[in-house]
Amino acid sequence: MGLTIITVLSKIASAALILPISEAIGQLKWTWFHGKKSRDVFDFEIFDKASRGAWGSVMLLFRTKGKSLAALGALLTVLLLAIDTFFQQVTDFPERWQPRGDSFIPRIVRYEPTIETAYDNLSDVPIAQVNGELSRVIKPFFYDKNGTQPITTGNSTQAEIPLICPTGRCDWPAYETLSVCSACEDVSNLLEYACLTTRMDWMKNSTGPGTERTYPNGTACGFFLNATSEDPVLMSGYRVGNGTPSLQGETLLMRTLPLITNPLRHPFYGSGSIKFKHIPYPILDALIVSSPDGSVDSVYEKKLPVAQECVLSWCVKKIRSSYVSGGYEEQILETFENTTSVDWPWWSQDLPELDMFELEFKANITIQPPWMNNSKTAFGVSNETFMDVVTIMDEVFPSFITVSNASAPPFIKVRTSFTDKVVFRPVHFSPWLAPNNVTHHLERMAQAVTNAIRSNPSDHELIKGTAYIRETYVAVHWAWLTFPLAMLFLSIVFLAATILKTSSNTHDEVGIWKTSALPSLVYGLPKEMQKDLISTAAPTNSAVRGPKKVRIRLSPQQGWRVSGHVQAGPAAPPGFI
């Protein structure tokens, strides 16, 4: 609508300028032929066309070579073609976002969900219960689903937290929230190739803890962890058939090895970590080792496996969030993990007479970022919550992917921490098997857990932000008026110069005919007829008196004939000019 109005106004402005310019050019036509010098007949047509449009004006510019006052009028006529473009650029109708109401986004300070505890029917010992909320989020990352699949919106993804944005765009000031962080480091230097006689705890038919005495011993070739120790651990390799390395038996493609025993939680390497000793309370700290391309052939070819130590831990993130047209984005400003040295927090006791064990995590985790030293807000989780999350990870840490021979399908053995619950399943896809990016996979898992705990309605709190609505406003670009104003100024100058030139005494007898075509006819009539048609009251105001009462007719052979008039002279037949 705004552009339509501007178009109409620009057309009116163009018409208001073209009218006096064309009239002035028409008047200068008569002045052109009134001079002392004779002009070409074709000039008459050029001037006539110049007073009617741009093409004639271009012809007039070339004809006069810009040395006539009429050339200025012709130039203005041509330039007026561009005036609409400049008027269109004067105003613009951009959109801007204006604050309109509040928006809300959840954050979590302490994650302590309510979980009902079950008890053993033979004693009052509580049985660990799995956090069903987090279990539904984490378990898809264990197997062939490759984790959760965020819904994309343009270049971003839809929000996976219950934010409140009443309009199409919202943003929030920087805020802190409890999160889960991940990291991975290469540890392939810890592996050594060897052929050793060792316990085959990784084979498909081996059972869980408490039955280690039933594990078969055998010779295996491959890459070992602690190859020179009393307890070497095969991370990737194969069982030797009949004691001959050239005969490959069951093959280990991938192994996940937590750096604490399971289920009693005793640490390996003194602190339960190799590269991440500075993290006191990891949710997970494990080695993930895979054949370099996930194939059996690379194992037989003695290629160095992909070996990483990966950790998941609680942390605090400072985030700035935004939500635009269904797409949610987060900018991580700062991340803080507690690195304070602590005593080993796990306590466990085996109860073989009851065929069970007791396990307790004795620390309540509290994280205080340094930039919040003056704040009373303390982020963290309770000891029970921590155990609930760790228990979920036990399903695939530890685990093994094996094949019985080079052409057999792979299987993954999981839940190996549970004596009577060890299971194996076919592998269609495994995020832990190379060449999949384990680091990126754990980052996605950490983000999914963070979103899940922030979505807990009983624990989260809402951060207030700003909602915006889109408004259209008028922006005036005054610089674009320079050309129209210059055209107006030059048109006034041209009109004034024309008036000044045609008002001089030498041009009085021409009269003010402007663009009228009558002079070309009237001045060809007999003198007595001219007197009847032209007022002689004032030469500078010459005009046709009652031309509508005179009737004429064109005869191609004899010229103009005035009805009712008889010419007495012998030069032309009676009644013809």
**pLDDT, tens digit, 9 for 90 and up, residues 40-93:** 767 677 777 777 878 888 888 888 887 888 888 888 888 888 888 888 888 888
Residue type, 80: L
**Where do we find the tokens 């000793």?**
277
Q: Which residues, listed in sequence order, are joined to residue 379 by a DSSP beta bridge?
A: 367
Widest Cα–Cα separation across the chain = 152
Lowest mean pLDDT among 39-53, 206-220, 298-312, 488-502: 206-220
pLDDT confidence of 533, banded at 50, 70, 90? low
Query: What number is the average pLDDT over the span 231-249?
Result: 81
- Enclosing H/E stretch for 45: helix 41-50
Mean pLDDT along residues 283-312: 95
Q: How many CA atoms lie within 13 A of 193 on its CB side?
A: 11
Q: Per mean pLDDT, which of 159-168, 295-304, 413-422 is the most reliable?
A: 295-304
pLDDT, position 550: 65
The beta strands (E) that lie in 294-345 are given as 306-324, 327-336
pLDDT reported for residue 349: 85
pLDDT of residue 527: 64
Report which DSSP code applies to 117.
P
Predicted confidence at residue 537, as pLDDT, reads: 34
**Assigned token pair, 336:** 């803080």
Alpha-helical (H) ranges within 347-481 are 383-393, 438-454
pLDDT in tens, 370-407: 887 777 778 999 888 898 899 899 999 999 999 988 88
**Average pLDDT in the chain:** 81
Burial of 372 (0-12, 13-18, 19+ CB in 10 A): middle
Q: How high is the pLDDT of residue 412?
A: 92
The answer to whether residue 3 scores a pLDDT higher than 50 is yes
Find the helix or strand (DSSP H, E) in which 282 lies.
strand 282-290
Residue 417: pLDDT over 70: yes
d(CA 17, CA 494): 11
The upper half-sphere exposure of residue 305, i.e. CA atoms within 13 Å in the direction of its Cβ, equals 33
pLDDT score, position 217: 83
For 24, 110, 179, 453, 567, the CA distances from 369, given in Å and listed in that order, are: 82, 14, 13, 19, 115
Q: Is the pLDDT of residue 229 over 90?
A: no
Distances (CA, A) of 271 to 212, 252, 341, 350, 363: 24, 27, 11, 21, 16
At residue 185, does pLDDT exceed 80?
yes
For the ranges 38-42, 124-128, 272-276, the lowest mean pLDDT is seen at 124-128
The Cα–Cα gap between 182 and 393 comes to: 14
CA distances from 79 to 6, 55, 102, 388 (A): 19, 12, 53, 80
pLDDT of residue 539: 44
**pLDDT at position 536:** 40
Query: Among the listed ranges 45-49, 527-531, 571-575, which one has the minimum average pLDDT value?
Result: 571-575
Cα–Cα–Cα angle for 135, 141, 145, rounded to 5 degrees: 115
- Which of 27-41, 276-290, 398-412 has the weakest average pLDDT? 27-41
In sequence order, the β-bridge partners of residue 364 are none
569 falls in which pLDDT band (50, 70, 90)?
A: very low
- Asked whether residue 155 carries a pLDDT value surpassing 70, the answer given is no
Q: What is the pLDDT averaged over residues 470-494?
A: 89
- Average the pLDDT over 287-292 and give the result: 96
CB 444 within 8 A of CB 147: yes
| Inter-residue contact 9 to 1 (CB < 8 Å) | no
Whole-number pLDDT of residue 558? 65
pLDDT beyond 60 at 209 = no
Residues 119-146 have a mean pLDDT of 74
Among the ranges given (93-102, 150-159, 169-178, 182-191), the one the predictor scored with the smallest mean pLDDT: 150-159
Closest C-alpha among 230, 239, 209 to residue 417:
209
- The verdict on pTM exceeding 0.85 is no
**Sign of the CA dihedral running 308, 315, 150, 146:** positive
Distant-in-sequence, close-in-space partners of 41: CB < 8 Å, separation ≥ 6: none
More confident residue, 185 or 416: 185
pLDDT of residue 353 exceeding 50, the answer is yes
Per residue in 78-111, pLDDT (tens digit) is 888 888 888 888 888 888 889 999 999 999 999 9
Q: Given a cut of 90, is residue 332 above it in pLDDT?
A: yes
Q: Does residue 149 carry a pLDDT above 70?
A: no
The mean pLDDT of 547-576, rounded to a whole number, is 60
Q: How far apart are CA 267 and CA 276, in angstroms?
A: 13
pLDDT at 380: 92
Instruction: Give the ranges where 301-374 is alpha helix by DSSP (H).
Output: none
* Interacting residues of 374 by C-beta distance below 8 A, sequence separation 6+: none
Asked if 462 and 105 count as a contact pair (C-beta separation under 8 A), the reply is yes
Query: Predicted confidence band at 519 (pLDDT cuts at 50, 70, 90)?
Result: low
**Contact 131/392 with Cβ under 8 angstroms?**
yes
- What are the pLDDT digits (tens) for 9-32? 888 888 888 888 888 887 777 777
Label residue 293 exposed, middle or buried (CB < 10 Å: 0-12, 13-18, 19+). middle
Distance from C-alpha of 92 to C-alpha of 90, rounded to nearest angstrom: 7
Looking at residue 440, what is its pLDDT?
94
Q: Which residue has the higher pLDDT, 160 or 567?
A: 160
pLDDT at 441 over 60: yes
Q: 432 falls in which pLDDT band (50, 70, 90)?
A: very high
- pLDDT value of position 151: 61
- Specify the pLDDT at position 541: 47
Q: Are 486 and 123 in contact (CB under 8 A)?
A: no
The residues near 327 (Cβ < 8 Å, ≥ 6 apart) are 153, 154, 155, 156, 157, 158
Report, as an integer, the average pLDDT of 547-565.
65
Quick check: 234 pLDDT over 90? Answer: yes
pLDDT tens digits for range 306-324: 999 999 999 999 999 999 9
Vertex 262, ends 256 and 264: CA angle to 5°? 160
- Residue partners of 75: CB distance under 8 A and separation at least 6: 57, 61, 66
